[in-house]
Amino acid sequence: MYLEHFKLKELPFRLSPDPAFLFLSQIHSRAKAYMESTIWFTDGFVVITGEIGSGKTTLIESFLKEIDQDVVVAQINQTQVSPIEFLQGLLAQFGFSPFRMRKAELLDTLNNFLIEQHANGRKVLLIIDEAQNLSNKVLEEVRLLSGVETTKEKVLRIILAGQPELHAKLDSDELVQLRQRVRLRFHLSALTESEMGDYILHRLRVAGSEDREIFEPDTFPLIFRYTGGIPRLTNTLCDTCLLSAFGSNLEKVDVEIVRQVIGELQWQEYAGRTHTDLPATRLDDTSPQPCPPVGRVVLSKRGVTLDHALLVPGRFIVGRTTDNDMQIDSKFVSRHHMQLVTTTDNCYVEDLNSTNGVFLNGKRVRRHKLQAGDVIKLGMHEVTYSPLDVPVEPSDETRATRTTVLQDADADADSDSDDDESENDDEEQDESSYSSIARGS
């Protein structure tokens, strides 16, 4: 093969998902953060969709590689099954031999297992890949399983991942009860042209290129035209280009090699094959905001205002890295530290499993309904929340955030769960016990 020729240690563009090669674009970073949030919050499903080859499975594998040992995971990949086969496969993932059990016994065994794990301090996570292939009957079984609970919380966390057809299935009239339990939907869009170039260089570096130029820079626009920024298509084209350059004894892949390979693969331009216009820059990962901003947050440190933002209905992520809606460059702030979940009527703060915690009025909170003037403390920084009595248009000089639009069902579910302040999942602790703040994750 071409490894020795290009002085690489391993194949950079294999099609099999490998977490070591994961490229976290802005959109992939957000999707991973939402997956991580399921470990701490059990009040609904998370649905991740994306086109074929967009990186869903690689993202899942990376997420699972980093998961804590106290989380018991079942991963279902074979989804063209009957309800009985699905339940049997799920129990098999948990170490049972269920293939002679009847349905009543399957359900009883699952219920007892989930309650037992919760009692022993373990979290249970179900990840279903290729979920668009599940029948409505199987999805109904998933919904019923999500209802297993103790007196305080649900005991099964669920992530559904699949192709865009999953959205149409969830929106069907037959699955209205399941749709109401969806806490978040997120779509993995393709890489932009700039991100695709970074993606190619990233995989080459992981494979051992040591920043040597193997693809000439003027090849990237041509590669993007024919792959549309879809990672799997990019891998296929780049791998074949390396093989062709090796066969021609060339040190680099140039435009002529790329054109030759495209002809051999008999590919048309991506836009022509899919009737999709290719964006030069990142499109919003959600649909355009139909609602004006309804809240405002101000970031400050020691009384000095550093940043501010408007909140539209949806989710607003705060953390240390640039892929967040609000970045706080501080060692005391985790990569994805907290999120603000905003509806037209309320706003909730949620800790995203941060190292140093989220503090409100001197108490550490996991999830809390915000009131006007509440000050959220993150290490040395403060985030002050206030609702907008008079909505402003997104053209206001203060930037309106790009957040995930909540469906009516999501808003109702969030509102209903916390109407009474006594029902907040605060898990409060004195701030004094956290005075020795560790370095952020």
Return d(Cα 21, Cα 26) in angstroms, integer. Answer: 16
Structure tokens at 69: 């040992």
> Tens of pLDDT along 51-68?
888 889 889 988 888 888
DSSP class of 356: S
In DSSP terms, which residues pair with 382 in a beta bridge?
300, 377
Q: How confident is the model at residue 412 (pLDDT cuts 50, 70, 90)?
A: very low
Q: Per the confidence metrics, is the pTM higher than 0.75?
A: no
Name the DSSP class of 23: -
Determine the pLDDT at residue 243: 93
Q: How far is CA 29 from the centre of its chain?
A: 7
Position 407 scores a pLDDT of 35
Rounded CA-CA distance 64/68 in Å is 9
Per-chain mean pLDDT for the chain: 81
Answer yes or no: are the C-beta atoms of 159 and 38 closer than 8 Å. Answer: yes
Least confident segment among 2-16, 233-247, 249-263, 309-323: 309-323
Q: Is the pLDDT of residue 437 over 70?
A: no
- CA dist., res. 395 & res. 273, Å (int): 36
Does pLDDT of 390 surpass 60? no
CA 260 to CA 274: how far, in whole Å? 22
Could you give the CA distance from residue 125 to residue 301 in angstroms, rounded to a whole number?
38
